[in-house]
Amino acid sequence: MNQINRIDGGLINRSNKLNFNFNGQSLEGYEGDTLASALLANGHRMVGRSFKYHRPRGIFSAGSEEPNALVQLRTGAYQEPNTRATVTELFHGLEATSQNHRGSLKYDLMAVNDLFSSFLSAGFYYKTFMWPKAFWEKFYEPVIRAAAGLGRLSGEDDPDIYDKGFLHCDVLVVGAGAAGLSAALSAGRAGARVIVMDEDFCMGGRLNVETLSVDDKSGSEWATQALAELSAMGNVRLMTRTTAYGAYDHGIVGALERVTDHLISSEKKPRQILWRVYTKRTILCAGATERPIAFGNNDRPGVMLAGAVRAYVNRWGALPGKRVAVFTNNDDGWRTATDLAAKGVEITAVIDSRDGQPPVDVPKGAAIVMGGRIVDTKGRHGIRSFTLSNGQQIPADCLAVSGGWSPNVQLTCHQRGRPTWREDIAAFVPGGELPQGMSVAGAASGNLSLSSVLLNGHDIGNSVVSDLGFTPSKVKSSSSEEETTGISAFWHVRESKVRAWLDLQNDVTVKDVKLSHQEGFRSVEHLKRYTTLGMATDQGKTANIPALAVMAECTGKSLPETGTTIFRPPYTPVAIGALAGRARGKDFRPSRLSPSHSWAEEQGAVFVEADMWYRAQWFPRTGETHWRQSVDREVTQTRASVGVCDVTTLGKIDVQGRDAAEFLNKVYANAFAKLPVGKVRYGIMLREDGIMMDDGTSARFAENHFVMTTTTANAVSVFRHMEFCRQCLWPEMDVHLISSTEQYAQFAVAGPNARKLLQKVVDSDHDISNEAFPFMACGEITICGGVPARLFRISFSGELAYEIAVPTRYGDSLVRTLMAAGEEFDVTPYGTESLGVMRIEKGHAAGNELNGQTTARDLGMGRMVSKKKDSIGNTLSERDGLNLENGLSLVGFRPVNRSEELKAGSHFITKGNTANMANDEGWMSSVAFSPNLGHSIGLGFIKRGSERMGEVVLATDPIRGGEMDVEIVSAHFIDPEGERLRG
């Protein structure tokens, strides 16, 4: 039998029937339904289990505040845990299952927890599970963890895609109910750029669920008309299914648009879009949330919020029960009785906690109890009846409860705002210190009657736009009939002898709050943390205020004195995938490709990530099965003849200006002022604290023009640092910096035949002989018949070497040309591994040594730090702690047993000492196999290293289970005199 509880009316499209599946059962609903309304229409009351006691749970609300009706939506990798049925738009083919039960929903084995509930009181776990000690990890905790959580992730990669975007407007209207639409009309008519967002798929808010009329139209008709007017305005953007979830500094609002969640498939479009909204003004029209009253066994399926009950009836034509009763402390609750009675639904009783006369006409046949108290309910899987304090039992399969409405102040509190209490409506309303540019209108500001909401929205819309310099339109506010909104605060039924729920999802009861008070957890934050109140997926939207009221009662303080916990973003939970947007997998970060990348790919190069760059690591040749074979060959061939390596990734900074030389003299620790034009110098750059920041070369191309290189890793931070020096420290200097990293493709050409190779491509009018172009020369030349190039005679490998740079557009062509020209020399390309081997052979420091913890002195370059001039870092580099007699120094290491392989990260211990931290004397920073020496070599830091040449120490590597004797040697393993590079 289908849709047994479907009645006439509502904003659903009965001509579009949708089939869906809940817990394996095929059901039908209509377009316009939510999963919750469709389940109710099909007579499903029980839809889940609570967190701790596994009590049966039914649909409680009709919105995003839902604590109970959480389902697992979709299947397989698309499985989406903890999804609120109340805001899940029904679609054809929807599949959902209930959560948090072992066995079936109806017969949950974990429901045994409920029997032991008195042992599982708030915070019980802090007091036990401590003995015997080993049992916590082995037994108690695994049991607790097995019970954790509600829904389940699939464990598979999220198959959907997400996107992000930026929106800009004058006015952002959050919430498109009566207040939001009124405000948007005011702002839109005045010509402001307006964005209206609503979390619902159908704008109108409670206009769509109440039977009140506006301007002699039904609420939903008025909303439709307002939306038509707004969507015709070019300056207004309407966004449904979009939740403003957080208010951030300076008027930035985070919003989530659910683009395809209401479709069976995303079809490769983004499932959700995360919007960053930059707005001059925000008008928060987020409405209000109804809250329950706590009484005995008030958690049974069928006990619902009164406003939700009439929402299901009025908007969706779905009947939550056949025999409905109302329990209220306010006039609004009565609307549920009158609305339902008007639809012919049986109202068994209206219980009003207030004394006096009924505020409205009494529905026929209903028992009316003024000053009434419900103390208990009955019904195992859903309410069947309830009991009043006088013992009277009243039947009902749906109990509509209203404890009044709490304005949705969350976004007003995301920064410093704290809500203030209004006794007349028994609710917190937005207080001071709202986020920049935010105003609040409608129910969110405490206006609870429709007529006041409409007027308030209209007026605030107008005042906001006139603030921004627009002329408000003269159109008057729409209006509605008057209604009564009386309320008298009433939070929980003291007469109840059994557990009365406050937080339905986390199973926090009135007793728990009292226990929390008894044990001294009285601050609201202690209460929250001790009982877990409000920490469930609904963030306590319906639970917090009643619970605070119970605490206030215990302490004898007023509710405003008791305060509220801090509202944190997000307003409703946001998928992590959406917050990440496109950044995942290979798209996590951009890829920078060097000019020779395509060519290297063709060569079958293996690439390595170096920051954002991909660099060729080595170039395997046919027959090479291990990377070491390739690297050994590249190194050997380069040292024997010539090799080519793409070094484009090194940072290049163009430094120009009348004071360029003096500027470099200040940013480098060593002298630069007198570097001749046409020469390159190696420079070390310190941080102001005297630690090595970076090293590189600077080449002087003209009196006022230098080209600096930095390491690949520090290119950006060095540029930033130099801009700081230029603008903030020495603003009187005429210096100009611009990065030219991208502008030039740069290749190292190294090896005894480097010159011969280059001479084949360099245009003949440029003499690059050793005499004309010696070591550390630089110059602007042309190659291959006029292509401009820069040539640097510098060497990282220790060989006769050059670096040649051409405009990037020629990079691909140049590497191919060098390979072709080098064929006669058996030229080899080499990658970063070989680069590393050769620099270790040569004793050059690199990233592992320049790790931000070492000084020039540690690196054996202490004497380069000039004491005769002011440079960054020179003063503080003189501190005692950086000049210890037994300080570290960088030296070379080789295994005493040459066949052993050194391990980077080993620590050094003097022979005979115990290997412990007190005897730790340093560490191995870089290692390589030297094909030239035929054994493993390493660079490392050890105390007084430079004085300990020849000493054998222990290199201990407990993490890999090894240790070996190593000999301290010079870091210059190859050509210590530097004859090759000058050759």
Among residues 691, 715, 966, 968, which is the contact residue for other proteins, using CB under 8 A?
691
Among residues 76, 131, 232, 476, which is the contact residue for other proteins, using CB under 8 A?
131
What is the C-alpha to C-alpha distance for residues 868 and 42, in angstroms, rounded to an integer?
88
What is the C-alpha to C-alpha distance for residues 187 and 190, in angstroms, rounded to an integer?
5
What is the C-alpha to C-alpha distance for residues 301 and 914, in angstroms, rounded to an integer?
69
**Phi, psi dihedrals of residue 670, rounded to the nearest 5°:** -100, 170
Q: Closest CB to other proteins among 608 and 969?
A: 608
Radius of gyration over alpha carbons of the chain, in Å? 38
Q: How far is the CB of 906 from other proteins (least distance, A)?
A: 7
Among residues 431, 573, 860, 978, which is the contact residue for other proteins, using CB under 8 A?
573
At 605, is the secondary structure helix, strand, or coil? Answer: coil
Q: Closest CB to other proteins among 404 and 595?
A: 595
What is the C-alpha to C-alpha distance for residues 604 and 944, in angstroms, rounded to an integer?
45
Total residues in contact with other proteins, by rule CB under 8 A: 195
Distances (CA, A) of 331 to 321, 360, 515: 22, 8, 33
Residue-by-residue DSSP string for 259-327: SSTTSS--TTS-SEEEEEEEEEEEEE---EEE---B-BTTTSTTEEEHHHHHHHHHHH-B-S-SEEEEE
Site string (357-396) toward other proteins, x via CB under 8 A: ----------------------------------------
- Record the tokens describing residue 570, joined without a space: 């997000």
3-state secondary structure 700-758: EEECCEEEEEECCCCHHHHHHHHHHHHHHHCCCCCCEEEECCCCEEEEEEECCCHHHHH
Among residues 582, 621, 674, 863, which is the contact residue for other proteins, using CB under 8 A?
582
Q: How far is the CB of 30 from other proteins (least distance, A)?
A: 27
Footprint (CB under 8 A) of other proteins, residues 659-688: 687-688
Q: Closest CB to other proteins among 433 and 481?
A: 433
Among residues 7, 233, 252, 362, which is the contact residue for other proteins, using CB under 8 A?
252
Q: Closest CB to other proteins among 72 and 638?
A: 72
Q: How far is the CB of 556 from other proteins (least distance, A)?
A: 14
Q: How far is the CB of 71 from other proteins (least distance, A)?
A: 13
Q: Does 495 bind other proteins (CB under 8 A)?
A: no
Q: How far is the CB of 780 from other proteins (least distance, A)?
A: 10
Residue 787 is inside which H or E element, if any? strand 787-792
Footprint (CB under 8 A) of other proteins, residues 503-522: 511, 515, 518-521
Q: Does 264 bind other proteins (CB under 8 A)?
A: no
Site string (527-566) toward other proteins, x via CB under 8 A: --xx-x--xxx-x--------------------------x
Q: Is 242 within 8 Å of 199 (Cβ atoms)?
A: yes
CA angle 87, 88, 89 (to 5 degrees): 110
Q: How far is the CB of 500 from other proteins (least distance, A)?
A: 15
Q: Does 67 bind other proteins (CB under 8 A)?
A: no
539 Cβ neighbours under 8 A, 6+ residues apart: none
Q: How far is the CB of 515 from other proteins (least distance, A)?
A: 6
What is the C-alpha to C-alpha distance for residues 841 and 595, in angstroms, rounded to an integer?
28
Q: Does 881 bind other proteins (CB under 8 A)?
A: yes
Q: Closest CB to other proteins among 78 and 201?
A: 78
Among residues 355, 732, 771, 977, which is the contact residue for other proteins, using CB under 8 A?
732
Q: Does 866 bind other proteins (CB under 8 A)?
A: no
Q: Does 724 bind other proteins (CB under 8 A)?
A: yes
Q: How far is the CB of 124 from other proteins (least distance, A)?
A: 5
What is the C-alpha to C-alpha distance for residues 350 and 353, in angstroms, rounded to an integer?
10
- Record the tokens describing residue 255, joined without a space: 């919003």
Among residues 102, 760, 944, 972, which is the contact residue for other proteins, using CB under 8 A?
760
Footprint (CB under 8 A) of other proteins, residues 772-801: 783-788
Q: Does 964 bind other proteins (CB under 8 A)?
A: no
Footprint (CB under 8 A) of other proteins, residues 283-302: none
Q: Which of 303, 323, 318, 396 is nearest to 59 (CA)?
A: 303
Which listed range, 305-313, 394-402, 649-657, 972-980, lies at the site for other proteins (CB under 8 A)?
Answer: 649-657
Which listed range, 290-298, 459-467, 618-626, 916-924, lies at the site for other proteins (CB under 8 A)?
Answer: 916-924
Footprint (CB under 8 A) of other proteins, residues 151-190: 151-158, 160-168
> Which long-range CB contacts under 8 A does 920-926 form with residues at least 24 apart?
921/953, 922/888, 924/893, 924/955, 924/966, 925/848, 925/849, 925/851, 925/890, 926/836, 926/840, 926/846, 926/848, 926/849
Footprint (CB under 8 A) of other proteins, residues 206-245: none
Among residues 118, 622, 769, 886, which is the contact residue for other proteins, using CB under 8 A?
118
What is the C-alpha to C-alpha distance for residues 364 and 347, in angstroms, rounded to an integer?
8
Among residues 4, 109, 112, 130, which is the contact residue for other proteins, using CB under 8 A?
130
One-letter amino acid for residue 870 of the chain: D
3-state secondary structure 502-556: EECCCCEEHHHHHHHHHCCCCCHHHHHHHHCCCCCCCCCCCCHHHHHHHHHHHHC
Q: Which of 207, 542, 549, 206 is nearest to 401 (CA)?
A: 542
Among residues 14, 17, 106, 720, which is the contact residue for other proteins, using CB under 8 A?
720
**Residue entry with tokens 């309910």:** 377
Q: Does 900 bind other proteins (CB under 8 A)?
A: no
Chain-centroid distance of CA 479 in Å reads: 43
Q: How far is the CB of 562 from other proteins (least distance, A)?
A: 12
Among residues 211, 338, 523, 636, which is the contact residue for other proteins, using CB under 8 A?
523
Q: Does 847 bind other proteins (CB under 8 A)?
A: yes
Q: How far is the CB of 836 from other proteins (least distance, A)?
A: 9
Q: How far is the CB of 320 from other proteins (least distance, A)?
A: 26
